[in-house]
Structure 1
Amino acid sequence: MTTEHQHNTTRIVLFLVLMVLVSLNLRPALSSLAPLLVRVQLDTGLSPLAIGALTTLPVLCLGVFAPLAPWLARRLGPENTLTLALVLMILGLLIRGTPPTILLFAGTLLAGAAIGIAGTLLPALVKREIPAGADLMTGVYTMALCLGGALGAGLSIPLTDLLGNWRLSLIGWSLPSVTALLAWVMLMPRTPRAAPSPGGGGSLRQLLSQPLAWHVMLYMGTQSSLAYIVFGWLPTLLQARGYSESEAGWMMGASVMVQLISALGAPWLARFGRDQRPALMLTLGCVGAGLWLLLQGPTGWRWAGVVLLGLGQGGSFSLALALIVLRTGNSRLAGKLSGLAQGGGYTLAAMGPLTVGVLLQFDVSLTALTTALLSIVAAAASFALLAGRNRRLDVDEAGRLITR
């Protein structure tokens, strides 16, 4: 093995470790608050509407701030932009656990903005550092995201009981972020700034003129909408079905843990076909079957529903991120498509939990709610059939954005 080859291998392994460390911190800020909402409401006297806003606003922030990432990366470099995002996240996590209540909203918004920026940068960095295996490495990144989300949800109540205060529990999540920031600053890959390609590698206007970019964004939005509906409302819907509070919680937690398997496995599975459509249909089929079994099927099949939902959601999100790197010809384009797909996608996704909240407010039946959820699955499948085709955004010799 040559010295250069050894150096490249070491660099890739180091980047993977850093990517996992950063990714683990991109979901606890969202998932650690949900289990504490009842305590927060009792302690602060916030209205149900304000509590609803507290869960919807960070998802909206993911969408609003994601397009800022490519712009910041051009000016500061992607490495420094990720450093800035981690600093903002730590500040947000510290602020949201500090009285008065207005800081709970301010800190949550700041953390959401930081996650929007960091989450958009990572697929482009993966494409730059590991171009040959970018789709498989996106699976590792998604697995770390899912694990972070599961840890945030699972450890939130025990941490509160241990520290005796929900505010200290929320502040406590800043410690893993500080660890990730220190590791990133000391060990981040330092790649020379690439000269801009002719025509800038495709402006946002050029990107919006390409149907393929819209297909990827709309698939990202519809499947993420299902993910945030499950994140925010599944325990409530399961209790409406007749399960106890604790069993509904365990079913939700188990479903998130199952996501780890398919988050890693789905991009690998997608390599067997000429394009990603079979893998996308398989994962979305699992989501639909899982939701139906949990909300309408025989109760004896509930754990099969939990497993199917977890496998489907982990796989469909992992493939959504893999499509960003597979549908672009270089890391600059991957960064821009990432900003568009996650920006527009998460803004669309925020409408999902909000719609379910409105439907529940009007006492809509569980059957009607299940039908609404399955129609979102069908919409996601139609966009997946378009986004999953073997096409790629690239820049031609004249610097124009084209679809190959």
Structure 2
Amino acid sequence: MVKKQWTVSLILVVVSIFLIALNMRPAVTAIGPLFNVLASALHVSNTSISLLTSIPVFCMGLFAPLAVPLQRKLGTKSSITLLGVILVVANGLRFFKESYQLLVITSFMAGLAIAIIGPILNAYIKKKFPQRFTAVIGIYSFGIGVGATLSAALTVAFYHAFANSWTIALGLWVILAIVAVVFWLLAIPTEQPEFGQNLETSEQSRNPWTSRRAWVILLYFGLQTSLFFSIMSWLTPLLQDKGSTLESASTMLTCMSIVQMIGNMAVPVFMEKWPNRMAWIRALGLVGVIGFTLLWLTSGTLLWLAVLLIGIVLSGLFPIGLLLPLDEAQNDQEANSWSSMVLSGGFMLSAIIPIMIGVGYDITGNHMWTYVIFLVLMVGIIATTELLKK
């Protein structure tokens, strides 16, 4: 009976992690499907709409170092609960007013919460599932992929279902956040010892900020995250620029997200059998170069192939980015500090690219530089495999 209860308890923990992960993207990625709608309704530039993606991504980097002190102060359960409530407020406020300033504020709030949740959950998974952390990270990244997919699939549908109200389309994601917070509170027992309260150990912990390898992992994470948020923000307008309708472009974004969602779960499972991270990065990088070249130079049905390939690439690059700092960590303290550094610097780096794309489009009136940036990111990701060689 004890063994059964423990198994059920672990399952509930994993479900809780999955539900929290569902909320790690919609507040940001729901902007992309309505990119042109928001720019028109709010009478702002493409660069201004790009900021709605870049601000939370930058915050994800800026505030990630707060994960360690907050976890020490409150413990895992209370920390995640507090951050989940911030996500509830950020999404809920979008219901009330058609305001660019309000979108900026709520994007900031979402970025703050997501920034701190990431390192805390990474470290918690490493401690709670030491022998199976690759699989649980797969479930966590799968949850993030599902959240991104849902936002891609449903935001435009919500927009049309509620009389073309983008405030409702964005605000409805509050429901997902409420469900996650409530389940987290119920599934993680209060009396359970909290990870983060017992950080005083005799183990030596290496400082990632002085490690060359940690900086390379940070670079990799920043490049792949730049790729993800840029394509989630700009795929719909890119496809519309090639003649697709809003509905058709949204459908293609949804299909890409579904491929990514499936891969977020499948790739970590495959990596348990074929664990060579560098080989995975090189292979995915090559597929990415092909995919973005097709997206740039083709039209019609070939765009579907391009979107499919890009989805496959995104599906693998992100879980690898989560695993690399955990692979290096020699104890629980390092799992938190290395993840915090990688996510912090990586997200801050990746906040630059969506703005660059917006500025480039506003200046030139075309997307040539957008495609060039995507290809440069792919080449940079492949190059990190050489830097990570010991």
**TM-score between both structures, scaled by the size of structure 2:** 0.90
Q: Which residue number in structure 2 is paired with residue 129 of structure 1? A: 128
Partner residue, 1:396:
none
* Distance of aligned partners of 1:32 and 1:364 in 2 relative to their CA distance in 1, 3 Å threshold: closer
* Matching residue of 1:177: 177
- Match of 2:276, SS state, is coil
Q: One-letter code of the match for 1:114?
A: A
The CA deviation at 1:83 is 0.9
Distance 2:50 2:370 in 1: 18
**Is 1:156–1:169's contact at 8 Å kept on the other side of the alignment?**
yes
Measure how far apart 1:181 and its partner are. 0.8
Residue 291 of structure 1: SS of its match in structure 2? helix
Deviation at 1:317, TM superposition (A): 0.7
Q: Gaps spanning 5+ residues in structure 1: where?
A: 392-404
Residue 245 (structure 1) shift: 4.1
User: Alpha carbons of 1:370 and 1:249: their partners in 2 closer, same or farther (altered >3 Å)?
Assistant: same
Which residue number corresponds to residue 34 of structure 1? 32
Within a 5 Å distance, the mapping from 1:81-92 to structure 2 comes to: 81-92=79-90
Which amino acid counterpart does residue 77 of structure 2 have in structure 1?
Answer: E
CA contact (8 A) 1:147 1:257 kept: yes
Structure 1 residues 386 and 163: CA distance shift in structure 2, 3 A: same
- How has the CA–CA distance of structure 1 residues 239 and 60 changed in structure 2, closer, same or farther, with 3 Å as cutoff? same
2:6 is aligned to 8
Superposed counterparts of 1:86-105, under 5 Å: 86-99=84-97, 101=99, 102-105=101-104
Partner of 1:211: 212
Q: CA deviation at 1:330?
A: 2.4
Aligned residues: 384
Q: Is the 8 A contact 1:241 1:295 kept in 2?
A: no
Pairing of 1:238-257 with structure 2 (within 5 A) = 238-257=239-258
Structure 1 counterpart of 2:276, one-letter code: D
> In the alignment, is the contact (CA less than 8 A) between 2:33 and 2:233 conserved in 1?
no
- How far, CA to CA, are the matches of 2:63 and 2:352 in structure 1? 16
Q: CA 1:290–1:53 in 2, change beyond 3 Å: closer, same or farther?
A: same
Matched with 1:376 is: 377
- Alpha carbons of structure 1 residues 274 and 114: separation in structure 2 relative to 1, 3 Å: closer
Letter in 2 for 1:94: G
Residues 2-401 of structure 1: matches in 2 within 5 Å?
Answer: 3-99=1-97, 101=99, 102-164=101-163, 165-188=165-188, 190-192=192-194, 193-198=197-202, 201-202=205-206, 206-273=207-274, 275-297=276-298, 299-363=300-364, 369-387=370-388
Q: Distance in 1 between matches of 2:368 and 2:34?
A: 28
Whichever residue aligns with residue 331 of structure 1, its letter is: D
Say if 1:261 and 1:171 are closer, same or farther in 2 by CA, change over 3 A.
closer
Contact 1:259–1:311, Cα closer than 8 Å, also in 2: yes
**Given the two structures, how large is their TM-score scaled by the length of structure 1?**
0.87
Q: Percent identity?
A: 26
Q: Is the 8 A contact 2:36 2:237 kept in 1?
A: no
Determine if contact 2:281/2:317 at 8 Å carries over to the other structure: yes
How far apart are the structure 1 equivalents of 2:46 and 2:373? 23
**Cα distance, 1:386 vs structure 2:** 3.8
Unmatched runs of 5 consecutive residues or more in structure 2:
none
User: What is the deviation of 1:43?
Assistant: 4.0
Bigger shift: residues 329-338 or 121-130: 329-338
Deviation, 1:119, is 2.1
Cα 1:240–1:121 shift into 2, 3 Å: same
Shift of residue 341, structure 1, vs aligned partner: 0.8
Paired AA for residue 11 in structure 1: S
For residues 328 and 317 of structure 2, the distance between their equivalents in structure 1, rounded to whole angstroms, comes to: 16
